[in-house]
Amino acid sequence: MFLHSVVKFVAVLGLTLSVASGCTTATSLDSVGAITPAPTTEKSAAIVVDGSTGAVLYQAGADLPRIPASLTKMMTLYLTFEALQSGRISKDTQIPISARAASQAPSKLGLKPGRTIDVDTAIKALVVKSANDVAVALAEYLGGTEEQFAAQMTAKGRQLGMRGTIFHNASGLPDAQQITTARDMALLGLSLRKHYPQQYHYFGAQDFMFDGKIIRGHNRVLAQLNGADGIKTGYVRASGFNIVTSISDNGRQLVAVVMGGETARQRDAQVVSLVNAYLPQVAHK
């Protein structure tokens, strides 16, 4: 009976804390603060951050565990950019495609085992196509195995301050142990621009040429918002529709994250609405 009461109390406390989560205009990215009502579904979360100061302009469920889906590839790319900067690889380095990489579920380029792909094209494939086969190939090349690379991803996230994220693969394909938060994804988005400005242009790509064909992307927000220059969309059934959007407009920088959208259109509309509402509050550099 006592145990039942404790469990009930914890459940009520958790619900109370969730309902208390929402919006602030003066907190840092590290703090939770007083925020507006919680998201409407167990998949939903959102946060808007001033890219210059790190101030949180809006948040809803930003620290609740969420499934990253292909937002995972942002960290795969972060470690790829790190390897480029250190000189470990170049944009011309050829990445071999293993049988395991080739066997990944879509979205993918459909590369055959034994083929190679250069790093420049691999980066575009992750950003534009969200290619799971290429994500695994990069992980195996840089980490030895995808499992070892995922451990490096998690460790790098901790270094960046991503306290609620555990990576178990490089692609974002379903894995029950792979979790993140909207706050962590915003922090990763800010870190990509801050630490790798010379590579950041990739995130603005809406298509690329591969094997004589134009490969088109999924990120329609790039064409809907002035100053939108990335970063990534993601979807698996368990996560709903996710997006991290970056804006650089007339000296103002902003990152907005929406997770758990019911449809891609609804997710896009929500992030566009958040950007339009909060960009006027962003500090000029």
Q: How far apart are CA 124 and CA 215, in angstroms?
A: 10
The pair of three-digit structure tokens given for residue 235, joined into one six-digit string: 């979807």
Residue of 43, 44, 73, 191 marked active site: 73
Task: Say which residue the tokens 């790829």 belong to.
Answer: 80
CB contact burial 36-66 (16+ within 10 A = b; e otherwise): eebbeeebbbbbbbbbeeebbbbbbbbbbeb
Q: Which residues contact 16 (CB under 8 A, 6 or more apart)?
A: none
Cα–Cα distance list, 158 to 146, 154, 235 (Å): 18, 6, 24
Q: Which residues contact 29 (CB under 8 A, 6 or more apart)?
A: 49, 54, 55, 56, 161, 183, 186, 187, 190
Task: Say which residue the tokens 């972060």 belong to.
Answer: 78
Q: How far apart are CA 142 and CA 122, in angstroms?
A: 13
Residue of 21, 70, 107, 246 marked active site: 70
Q: How far apart are CA 24 and CA 84, in angstroms?
A: 37
73 tagged catalytic: yes
Residue of 21, 44, 107, 130 marked active site: 130
Q: How far apart are CA 105 and CA 280, in angstroms?
A: 41
70 tagged catalytic: yes
DSSP percent split of the chain into helix, strand, coil, nearest 5: 40, 20, 35
- Residue 78 CB neighbour total at 10 angstroms: 20
Q: Is the C-alpha dihedral spanning 215, 219, 223, 226 positive or negative?
A: negative
Give the residue numbers marked as catalytic: 70, 73, 130
